[in-house]
Amino acid sequence: MIYNFSAGPGVLPEPVLREVQAEFLSYKQGVSIVEMSHRSDAFATIVEQLEARLRRLMQIPDDYAVLFLQGGATLQFSMVPMNLRETRRFAYLDSGVWSKKAIADAKHFGDVVVVGSSAATKYRELPAWPQTISDVDYLHVTLNNTIEGTRYTELPDTDVPLVADVSSNILAEAIDVKRYGLLYAGAQKNIGPAGLTLVIIRRELIVDRQLPSYLAYSQHVDSLLNTPSTFSLYVAERVLAWVEDEGGVEAMERRNVEKSSLFYDALDASPLFHAVVSGTERSLTNIPFTTGDAGTDEAFQRFAEAHGLIELGGHRSVGGLRASLYNAMPLEGVKRLIEVMHEFEQEGQDVSYKNV
């Protein structure tokens, strides 16, 4: 049994992978899903179902459009400022590596005001929300910091549209869509294969700004502009069906709280390992941890791999260890990880895993 703790592309539900395998050679019309026209009736049904499921799961109001794009969350770092610019002043919270990248890209399209930064704490804490904010087109926040393992649980009262990168916590916890002007997420953390990006945007924010066609949100509303990543859309629709069958976002959040609490408790009690983030800012989905020694962290990673627990390395920019506990990670996987950590504490730190 292999448990995959990858931060992304992440683990997907096994029943969905089996279903995809069974249907791969012949989807309904006797051809593979990857051979079908994205304009066919069968494929249009998949996209309609996907949108309907997402709207039900996240309680997306009708005055929001759902767009299925490509280019990852990274392309949204540019599409957001391109499409939302009125005054060309944008506010950003600098809470981690991904927000830093979003800030860098936004600077191509206007003035970026960094209204809070926790760079000085190496992003182990979250910057506070600004007290008041005005005269900007939007306020951007990375709601769950995938690399650093922090997450916001409270939102400010503000008249400025809130824009959030929810790549690593979408469908993992409740997100109150109507508090936001725009939400975006790469699908590969919690929703499906890479190649699909979701944008949920309040319709009144969609303004024609004479952009090249693909880059304009207005071109993607209520129809497919060009050939999407058809396979990713198809798998995402099946994953969302699974989420609905399992009890929806509420059930996912309950499980994610249970899994992450178990893991944080084990870290807090461990004589060897500790969590990098403390207190109420701890992420439900991405948990960085360390022994405090790079060599021992690496030795544990190899020890864990030998026990079927893979992708426990921290992001290349920060090092250490990280366990991502997305929706499809079962509780058993977390229990197994804790067991293996205990084994390593007792006997695993021997030379065969070190100094390789």
Does residue 98 have an active-site annotation? yes
Q: Which of 186, 193, 195, 288 binds ligand PLP (CB under 6 A)?
A: 186
142 binding ligand PLP? (CB under 6 A): yes
Cα(135)–Cα(87) distance, integer angstroms: 8
Say if CB 166 and CB 142 are below 8 A apart.
Answer: no
Q: Which is nearer to ligand PLP, 232 or 296 (CB)?
A: 232
Cα(33)–Cα(8) distance, integer angstroms: 23
Q: Token match 């693909």: residue?
A: 214
Q: Is the peptide bond before 271 cis (omega within 30 degrees of 0)?
A: no
- HEC profile for 62-77? CCEEEEEECCHHHHHH
Helices (H), 116-191: none
* Tokens encoding 77: 């770092």
Q: How far is the CB of 62 from ligand PLP (least distance, A)?
A: 27
Q: How far is the CB of 328 from ligand PLP (least distance, A)?
A: 16
Torsions phi, psi of 143, nearest 5? -65, -40
192 binding ligand PLP? (CB under 6 A): no
* Tokens encoding 166: 């929810």
**Which range touches ligand PLP (CB under 6 A), out of 41-49, 67-75, 172-180, 250-258?**
67-75
190 binding ligand PLP? (CB under 6 A): no
Q: Which of 47, 69, 73, 243 binds ligand PLP (CB under 6 A)?
A: 73
Q: How far is the CB of 145 from ligand PLP (least distance, A)?
A: 7
Q: Which is nearer to ligand PLP, 186 or 320 (CB)?
A: 186
Cβ of 253: how many Cβ atoms within 10 Å? 19
Does residue 165 have an active-site annotation? yes
Q: How far is the CB of 73 from ligand PLP (least distance, A)?
A: 3
8 binding ligand PLP? (CB under 6 A): yes
- Contacts with ligand PLP by CB under 6 A lie at 8, 72-74, 98, 142, 146, 165, 167-168, 186, 189
